[in-house]
Structure 1
Amino acid sequence: MSYYDIDSILTDAEKVPCKFELDVPELGYLDNNPSHPLKAGTSIGLPLWLAEPLALTRREPTSSEEDSKSFVSLDLPQSLSNEVMSALKADPRAVPLRDQSHNFYGLGTRMLDVFEEREICAILRRTFVMRATDIALHARKAGATEDMGVGAGEEFLRGLEEWERKLFRKAHEGTKGGKEWMEGVKKH
């Protein structure tokens, strides 16, 4: 993705749960305690753009520590929790991904850069493939009737996250372009 890609920017702004591994002076305001330092063990949601480098950067061990530690430990966000993954395993089409995150797949791929979760990777891949068939079907039908834009079609679109919406638009434009081309061929 490019530097100016709005979906990438919004994905980077998603908050992810972190736990600080050391006391940090002058950052108590992050935990609504401005007059105190941020204590080790404090859990806070930080934007992904900040949480990822803090989790991946190692600090030098102190005399009482044997090995280096990261500044924060990073956890998977709620949108990639066991409950959501179980629901996706059961039926990917029944989960409105937009309710989990507007950029669900973008967040998932970014988190998989940090965590090596093969099962989550497999679930996300299976989810995208299964939902893509429904998206393509709805995109083909969208231009077939005048009232497809409201009702069932609108409800379907409401549950799609951004990658899926882009796929829907491309599939719909392709179907529309194919129909226009066929009409042009029939006229000649």
Structure 2
Amino acid sequence: MAYYSPESILTDSQKAPCTFELGVPGLSPLNNGSAIEKGTKLDLPLWMAEMLAVSKPAGPSSASLASLDMPSALGQRVMNALKADPKSVDVRAQAQWFYGLGERMLELFEEEEMVDVLLDSFKQRALEIADKAQNTRNVQKGGDNDFMGGLDEAERQLFRAAHDGSSAVRKWFDNSSRS
């Protein structure tokens, strides 16, 4: 995570499921005031779930406080849908920072297949994003709302950059042809 990057902070604030391996009574505020016992499952911000997963209690126990599980946004159902047709998946509905979440989870889990699926999906979707960005006149109105609604934040930034770059080239070409 980049220290001052808002994108990294927002990515790490997305929820990730974790299962407590030990009872931790001092963390009851995380569980609506109920005691956290062994086996308790909670969706916590990724940064916190990661810290609990790598934390070891004092003493002879070698177990971590909690185990971190793969978020449903990156589950097998979503991976299968991305394999079938990446352009049809509303990744924003899965996670606002979908690819950032994938990147963070891949830092923690060795999932070679997920790497391939996410990379292939981003490439295919980027081609459509570039095409729409060059053929959309007014990005402020949102262009194609259905299209923009399904993009995660990284894809939206890519769309804006491609749209602004295409507009700048058109303006430059128009200005240079008038001279």
The secondary structure found in structure 1 opposite 2:151 is coil
- Count of matched residue pairs: 179
CA-atom RMSD in angstroms: 2.1
Counterpart residue type for residue 44 of structure 1? L
The secondary structure found in structure 2 opposite 1:27 is helix
Correspondence list, 1:52-91, <5 A: 52-59=50-57, 62=60, 68-91=62-85
Larger Rg over CA atoms = 1
What is the Cα deviation at residue 19 of structure 1?
Answer: 0.5
What is the Cα deviation at residue 148 of structure 1?
Answer: 10
8 Å CA contact 1:20, 1:41 repeated in 2: yes
Paired residue for 1:102?
Answer: 96
Q: Distance in 2 between matches of 1:58 and 1:85?
A: 32
Counterpart residue type for residue 17 of structure 2? P
Counterpart residue type for residue 55 of structure 1? A
Q: Distance in 2 between matches of 1:32 and 1:125?
A: 38
Paired residue for 1:164?
Answer: 155
8 Å CA contact 2:8, 2:100 repeated in 1: yes
Gaps of 5+ in 2: none
Correspondence list, 1:122-161, <5 A: 122-143=116-137, 149=141, 153-161=144-152
Paired residue for 1:20?
Answer: 20
Counterpart residue type for residue 162 of structure 1? E
Gaps of 5+ in 1: none
Q: Distance in 2 between matches of 1:29 and 1:101?
A: 25
Instruction: Give % identity.
Output: 44
8 Å CA contact 2:19, 2:40 repeated in 1: yes
Paired residue for 1:184?
Answer: 175
What is the Cα deviation at residue 28 of structure 1?
Answer: 2.9
What is the Cα deviation at residue 69 of structure 1?
Answer: 1.9
Paired residue for 1:32?
Answer: 32
8 Å CA contact 1:60, 1:69 repeated in 2: no
8 Å CA contact 1:139, 1:171 repeated in 2: yes
The secondary structure found in structure 1 opposite 2:135 is helix
Q: Deviations over 1:26-50 (max 9, x none)?
A: 323433344xx31111111111111
Correspondence list, 1:4-19, <5 A: 4-19=4-19
The secondary structure found in structure 1 opposite 2:26 is coil
What is the Cα deviation at residue 9 of structure 1?
Answer: 1.5
What is the Cα deviation at residue 61 of structure 1?
Answer: 6.2
Q: Distance in 2 between matches of 1:148 and 1:9?
A: 26
Q: Deviations over 1:75-122 (max 9, x none)?
A: 001100110000000000000111011100011101111101111111
